């Protein structure tokens, strides 16, 4: 199998390939890199690139309250400091020069291509075939084709519906005085520093996916793991959000690369990461099918998920991996509804974890108060980060959570991602800073914590 991504190399397209994504270093404006998409389909009438390649904007033309009024730029018009935000309203009337999702051209019989200069960052995508209205074209309507030559990281087929790739930063074309948009911390670490990431099935009575009584997670084992007999590693649980699963963090967020780089640069001790899945733990809330828009199920309540993880997931992980066995080297973090689950762990599994990362948390009142703290003083001695994007739709909730923590005197590390909407570039940034500023730092946190 020939690798579909040729990074900054001469390109040889395998003749049999149905699809390829090629990242080329160009050494010229606007970004210093171009990305070529090529997809062979002889029967298609129209192909769009959907999934996660979002419109670009900049901080002077973006508001946190209405995406309707955001500047939205084609990547060919990229300027330093531009970034992408997840745009929930793609059906809005197009502005001049604005075309999204990106339209492929049939340049020869059945060969569809699209080339764009893209700046540093992670991009996920799928091909939308014969689709005239992107929000309606998902796996259930049969319009969505996953790049067969760049398959997603997943446990069983159907667990993910987009492929992804990462474009490097180029300081010559992407440096901006007002904003750092260098995401190279999520690129591959050098050889010798790369951990392993894989999916794992575990026994979880009642689970309905991927098999009866079997549930799954993904795990990151740092490069050093397995080389020092008897060594126990700090353990981070990292949750997905609504509509996701345990493969998201790797497939859409390159969690393993971020961890490799945090460890390699001495920001954290080698750490094991488990990314669990909170849907389909049992049949009570219906069967969640990834990406299926005509089949929606409720989000299982956080206390229900916590109880299930306490019963089956946590003991299984401790039994099967060389991970530490006490709170001081255990952390729980998660994005969006995973941030809600993290808050649940903080309040109701306080003694199990000493570190908590609430990333773009979609929490709601009632929050803890003085009485909760009096009844559970452990709440005051934790290492916490509350992070959210400047253009994140959960900005108000995350601020309310911070206000509640402030009111009872709980100190936390704060990160407001300056280019951040409710999307993967924000959550990558939050994981990075969680590592740099929070993980395994001495407790209790003070104003010097994370200052190096």
Ligand X SMILES: *[C@@H]1O[C@H](CO)[C@@H](O)[C@H](O)[C@H]1NC(C)=O
Interface residue list for ligand X (CB under 6 A): 18, 41, 43-44, 129-130, 133, 136, 139-140, 145, 155-156, 199-201, 210-211, 214, 216, 232, 289, 292, 294-295, 303, 324-326, 328-329, 343-344, 347-348
Pairing state between β 144-145 and 413-417: unpaired
Considering only CA atoms, which of 376, 375, 354 is closest in space to residue 439?
Answer: 354
3-state secondary structure of 94: coil
Query: Considering beta carbons, is residue 156 or 265 the nearer one to ligand X?
Result: 156
Query: Considering beta carbons, is residue 50 or 117 the nearer one to ligand X?
Result: 50
CB-CB contact of 61 with 148 (8 Å): no
- Kindly state the smallest distance separating residue 157's Cβ from ligand X, in Å: 8
Q: At what angle do helices 255-264 and 424-437 cross, to 10 degrees?
A: 30
- Kindly state the smallest distance separating residue 91's Cβ from ligand X, in Å: 8
Residues 6+ apart with CB under 8 A from 142: none
Give the rounded distance of the alpha carbon of 389 from its chain centre: 13
Unique residue bearing structure tokens 């997603």:
152
Query: Considering beta carbons, is residue 29 or 370 the nearer one to ligand X?
Result: 370
CB-CB contact of 407 with 414 (8 Å): no
- Kindly state the smallest distance separating residue 339's Cβ from ligand X, in Å: 12
Query: Considering beta carbons, is residue 63 or 89 the nearer one to ligand X?
Result: 89
Query: Considering beta carbons, is residue 184 or 224 the nearer one to ligand X?
Result: 224
Query: Considering beta carbons, is residue 21 or 187 the nearer one to ligand X?
Result: 21
Tokens of 429: 């940034």
CA distance 57 to 44: 31
CA distance 235 to 271: 6
CA distance 261 to 330: 20
Residue whose CB is nearest to ligand X in the complex, by number? 295
- Kindly state the smallest distance separating residue 405's Cβ from ligand X, in Å: 13
Residues 6+ apart with CB under 8 A from 424: 52, 122, 124, 252, 253
DSSP designation for 434: H
Query: Considering beta carbons, is residue 64 or 206 the nearer one to ligand X?
Result: 206
- Kindly state the smallest distance separating residue 164's Cβ from ligand X, in Å: 18
CB-CB contact of 261 with 223 (8 Å): no
Query: Considering beta carbons, is residue 27 or 226 the nearer one to ligand X?
Result: 226
Q: SS3 for 409-438, per residue?
A: CCCCEEEEECCCCCCHHHHHHHHHHHHHHC
- Kindly state the smallest distance separating residue 31's Cβ from ligand X, in Å: 28
Query: Considering beta carbons, is residue 65 or 328 the nearer one to ligand X?
Result: 328
- Kindly state the smallest distance separating residue 345's Cβ from ligand X, in Å: 9
CA distance 399 to 386: 9
- Kindly state the smallest distance separating residue 201's Cβ from ligand X, in Å: 4
- Kindly state the smallest distance separating residue 139's Cβ from ligand X, in Å: 5
Backbone angles phi, psi at 333, to 5 degrees: -145, 165
ω before 101 within 30° of 0 (cis)?
A: yes
CA distance 357 to 370: 22
Query: Considering beta carbons, is residue 59 or 87 the nearer one to ligand X?
Result: 87
- Kindly state the smallest distance separating residue 326's Cβ from ligand X, in Å: 4
CA atoms within 13 A on the CB side of 144: 24
- Kindly state the smallest distance separating residue 232's Cβ from ligand X, in Å: 4
Query: Considering beta carbons, is residue 7 or 347 the nearer one to ligand X?
Result: 347
Tell me the sheet residues that pair with 22.
36
Tokens of 51: 């999934």
């Amino acid at each position: 199998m020939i690798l579909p991504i040729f990074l900054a190399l001469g390109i040889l397209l395998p003749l049999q390939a149905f699809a390829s994504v090629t990242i080329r270093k160009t050494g010229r404006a606007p970004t210093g890199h171009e990305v070529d998409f090529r997809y062979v389909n002889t029967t298609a009438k129209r192909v769009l690139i959907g999934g996660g390649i979002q419109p670009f904007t900049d901080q002077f033309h973006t508001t946190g309250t209405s995406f309707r009024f955001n500047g939205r730029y084609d990547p060919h018009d990229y300027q330093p400091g531009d970034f992408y935000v997840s745009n929930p309203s793609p059906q809005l009337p197009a502005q001049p020069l604005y075309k999204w999702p990106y339209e492929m051209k049939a340049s020869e019989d059945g060969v569809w291509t699209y080339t764009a200069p893209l700046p540093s960052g992670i991009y996920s995508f799928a091909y939308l075939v014969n689709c005239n209205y992107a929000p309606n074209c998902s796996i259930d309507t049969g319009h969505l084709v996953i790049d067969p030559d760049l398959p997603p990281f997943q446990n069983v087929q159907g667990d993910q519906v987009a492929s992804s790739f990462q474009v490097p930063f180029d300081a010559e074309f992407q440096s901006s005085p007002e904003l750092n948009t260098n995401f190279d911390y999520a690129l591959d670490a050098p050889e010798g520093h790369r951990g392993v990431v894989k999916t794992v099935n575990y026994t979880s009575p009642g689970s309905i996916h991927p098999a009866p009584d079997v549930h799954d997670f993904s795990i990151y084992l740092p490069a050093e793991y397995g080389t020092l007999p008897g060594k126990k590693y700090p353990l981070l649980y990292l949750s997905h959000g609504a509509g996701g699963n345990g493969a998201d963090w790797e497939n859409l967020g390159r969690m393993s690369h971020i961890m490799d780089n945090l460890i390699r640069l001495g920001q954290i001790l080698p750490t094991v990461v488990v990314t669990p899945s909170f849907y389909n733990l049992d049949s009570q809330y219906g069967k969640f099918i990834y990406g299926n828009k005509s089949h929606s199920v409720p989000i299982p309540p956080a206390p229900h998920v916590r109880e299930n993880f306490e019963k089956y997931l946590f003991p299984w992980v401790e039994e099967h991996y060389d991970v530490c066995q006490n709170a001081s080297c255990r952390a729980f973090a998660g994005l969006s509804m995973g941030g809600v689950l993290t808050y649940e762990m903080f309040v109701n599994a306080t003694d199990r974890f000493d570190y908590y990362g609430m990333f773009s948390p979609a929490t709601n009142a009632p929050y803890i108060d003085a009485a909760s703290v009096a009844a559970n003083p452990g709440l005051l001695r934790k290492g916490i980060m509350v992070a959210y994007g400047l253009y994140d739709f959960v900005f108000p909730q995350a601020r309310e959570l911070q206000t509640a923590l402030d009111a009872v005197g709980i100190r936390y590390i704060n990160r407001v991602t300056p280019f951040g909407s409710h999307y993967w570039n924000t959550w990558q940034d939050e994981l990075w800073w969680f590592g740099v500023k929070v993980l395994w730092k001495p407790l209790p946190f003070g104003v010097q914590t994370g200052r190096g």
